[in-house]
């Protein structure tokens, strides 16, 4: 939102001479979180759980585990060609 507002106010200031009240606002820095991989034991337990309870969600998680694709990439897959 801040990026959009900065752009709008910058345009309004340049084109219409309106005071850019948002000029001094700085975007807050979002700290990057460390990615934690599953341990071998956790991976085995998850596979066992998924095999016992066959659901569409479990299938998505299994596909992600075995292919290395992210959930968003799996959701974007289609059956057709290009």
DSSP states of 18-68: ---TTTT--PPPPPPPPP-PPPHHHHHHHHHHHHHS--HHHHHHHHHHHH-
Place of tokens 């309106």: 18
pTM beyond 0.85: no
CA 32 to chain centre: 13
C-alpha separations of 55 from 49, 58, 62 in Å: 11, 5, 10
Instruction: Describe the crossing of helices 56-67 and 40-52 by its angle, rounded to 10 degrees.
Output: 140
Q: What is the pLDDT along the chain (82 residues), one digit of tens a residue?
A: 888 888 999 999 999 998 888 888 887 888 999 989 999 999 999 999 999 999 999 988 999 999 999 888 988 888 886 6
């Amino acid at each position: 939102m801040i990026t959009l507002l900065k752009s709008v106010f910058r345009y309004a200031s340049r084109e219409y001479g309106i005071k850019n009240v948002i000029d001094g606002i700085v975007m807050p820095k979002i700290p990057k979180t460390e990615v934690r991989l599953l341990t071998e034991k956790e991976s085995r337990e998850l596979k066992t759980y998924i095999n016992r309870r066959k659901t569409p969600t479990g299938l998505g998680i299994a596909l992600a585990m075995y292919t290395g694709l992210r959930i968003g990439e799996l959701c974007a897959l289609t059956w057709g060609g290009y």
